[in-house]
Amino acid sequence: MSILVCGGAGYIGAHVVRLLLQRGERVVVVDDLSTGSADRIGEAALVRLDVASDEAPTVLANTMVDEDVTAVIHFAARKQVGESVERPMWYYQQNIGGLANVLAAMNEAGVDQMIFSSSAAVYGMPPVETVAEDTECHPINPYGETKLIGEWMMADCQRAWDLKWIGLRYFNVAGAGWADLADDAVMNLVPMLLDRLERGESAKIFGDDYDTPDGTCIRDYIHVLDLAEAHVAALDVLSEGRQPEHHTYNVGTGLGTSVREIVDGLRRVIGWDFPVEVLGRRAGDPPKLIGDPLSIGVDLGWKANRGVDEILESAWEGWQAGPRRFDPPTVR
Ligand SMILES: NC(=O)c1ccc[n+]([C@@H]2O[C@H](COP(=O)([O-])OP(=O)(O)OC[C@H]3O[C@@H](n4cnc5c(N)ncnc54)[C@H](O)[C@@H]3O)[C@@H](O)[C@H]2O)c1
């Protein structure tokens, strides 16, 4: 028996793969290595494949049968909001086409358990600061739309052939469970700050005139290892043959941290009061976005155990273990 992890060579997927391997599961990773890396997956088997390609349904179905796959965890997707606005059809082809291929292969191979990487981006600009799963979804970019459509596709497969599925809506993922699995893409706040500092530039804050206590945007930061553990909890529920009451769950902490607090926290962790520049607001940034974690606690027995300090310490340790490490001026 094995678990198939699509996109398992990426930042979040590799954390889940490592947790599964640590508890003795057999894991098969399907990944095109476009943003992931084979050295992140340890002794898991690797099938190098673009899940959105024409050959994918057949290769996936054969792999599922040959490897005796019982469940799929699907991370493989393009995830840059700005790029999704510029290349919407590519995002649909990759994220929707890829998921359709995976689901078709599961149906073909008789695999009926699926865990899907969804996102807080499905909520768009919600009218409330703390979102629950029943908050209306109005994504404001093609990336968020592909995540919401992905949830609809699984609901349709549930009706058609009894797919058991859980969609996890991640809030702001950061940190590293192991230094070698740190986020090496520069797309989220913490890596963006470290990227600037390594280049000798000041850190940037986009907008400090929001209606929040310190004027900067507030987000719900979730440690990637907590998030990885949420996948294992979801997998365990489905493998017991239980379909929890809800299908989609926020993976958040219920707590908000401002951009300014992240900057100050990183200064403490690094031991350097690095320079910060405040720029104008970015389009489409809600002032405050926090995920209500009540349902996932009740239904999956999961809660976040790590706070912002652990997120920042582990992110810094991971950055310093990588190729772009730098010495802050105070210790130079
Ligand atoms: N990182 C975040 O903050 C965040 C937040 C919300 C949701 N998500 C979702 O979580 C998932 C994983 O994100 P991540 O941060 O680990 O990203 P990542 O880019 O590090 O990982 C994605 C992995 O999927 C692979 N991949 C992408 N498209 C593929 C394709 N067509 N065929 C085969 N492999 C493909 C990549 O090579 C990579 O290994 C994505 O679905 C993303 O949308 C991430």
Residues 138 and 269 in one domain: no
Summarize pLDDT for 17-50 with one digit per residue, the tens: 999 999 999 999 999 999 999 999 999 999 999 9
What is residue 176's predicted lDDT score, i.e. its pLDDT? 98
Summarize pLDDT for 61-80 with one digit per residue, the tens: 999 999 999 999 999 999 99
- Give the distance, in angstroms, between the CA of residue 24 and the centroid of all CA atoms in the same chain: 23
On average, the pLDDT of the chain sits at 96
Could you tell me if the CB of 253 is within 6 A of ligand 1? Answer: no
What is residue 332's predicted lDDT score, i.e. its pLDDT? 43
Task: Give the atom of ligand 1 at the shortest distance from the alpha carbon of 13.
Answer: 16
Summarize pLDDT for 123-181 with one digit per residue, the tens: 999 999 899 999 999 999 999 999 999 999 999 999 999 999 999 999 999 999 999 99
Residues 302 and 247 in one domain: no
Residues 47 and 10 in one domain: yes
Residues 17 and 157 in one domain: yes
Structure tokens at 11: 């930042």
245 by DSSP, 3-state: which? Answer: coil
Residues 117 and 157 in one domain: yes
Summarize pLDDT for 272-304 with one digit per residue, the tens: 999 999 999 988 888 999 999 999 999 999 999
Distances (CA, A) of 110 to 58, 102, 243: 14, 12, 17
What is residue 330's predicted lDDT score, i.e. its pLDDT? 62
Could you tell me the CATH number of the domain that includes residue 276?
3.90.25.10
Domain with 243, as residue range(s), is 2-173+221-251
* Chosen domain end from 251, 269, 292: 251
Residues 10 and 78 in one domain: yes
Could you tell me if the CB of 95 is within 6 A of ligand 1? Answer: no
What is residue 273's predicted lDDT score, i.e. its pLDDT? 95
Summarize pLDDT for 211-261 with one digit per residue, the tens: 999 999 999 999 999 999 999 999 999 999 988 989 999 999 999 999 999
Distances (CA, A) of 127 to 50, 136, 244, 286: 37, 9, 27, 9
What is residue 284's predicted lDDT score, i.e. its pLDDT? 83
Residues 169 and 51 in one domain: yes
Distances (CA, A) of 324 to 39, 223, 317: 18, 22, 12
Contact 56, 7 (CB under 8 A): no
State yes or no: pLDDT of 331 exceeds 70: no
Structure tokens at 139: 């994504």
Kindly give the distance from the C-alpha atom of residue 39 to the centroid of ligand 1, in angstroms, as a whole number: 16
Residues 188 and 303 in one domain: yes
Cite the active site residues: 143
Distances (CA, A) of 299 to 112, 115, 121, 164: 20, 15, 22, 15
What is residue 329's predicted lDDT score, i.e. its pLDDT? 86
Residues 19 and 93 in one domain: yes
Summarize pLDDT for 176-210 with one digit per residue, the tens: 999 999 998 999 999 999 999 999 999 999 999 99
* Residues 127, 131, 136: CA angle, nearest 5 degrees: 60
Could you tell me the CATH number of the domain that includes residue 115?
3.40.50.720
Could you tell me if the CB of 9 is within 6 A of ligand 1? Answer: yes
Residues 42 and 8 in one domain: yes
Structure tokens at 66: 């040959």
Taking the CA atoms of residue 171, residue 172, residue 177 and residue 183 in that order, the dihedral angle to the nearest 10 degrees is 130
Kindly give the distance from the C-alpha atom of residue 313 to the centroid of ligand 1, in angstroms, as a whole number: 23
> In testing the pocket of ligand 1, which one of 15, 30, 35, 227 has its CB within 8 Å of the most ligand atoms?
35
Flag whether the pTM goes above 0.85. Answer: yes
Kindly give the distance from the C-alpha atom of residue 12 to the centroid of ligand 1, in angstroms, as a whole number: 7
Concatenated DSSP letters of 146-212: HHHHHHHHHHHHHHHH--EEEEEEE-EEE--SSGGG---SS-SHHHHHHHHHHTTPPEEEE-S-SSS
Overall number of domains in the chain? 2
Residues 229 and 109 in one domain: yes
Residues 245 and 258 in one domain: no
Residues 45 and 35: their CA atoms lie apart, in Å, by 18
Calculate mean pLDDT across residues 81-92: 96
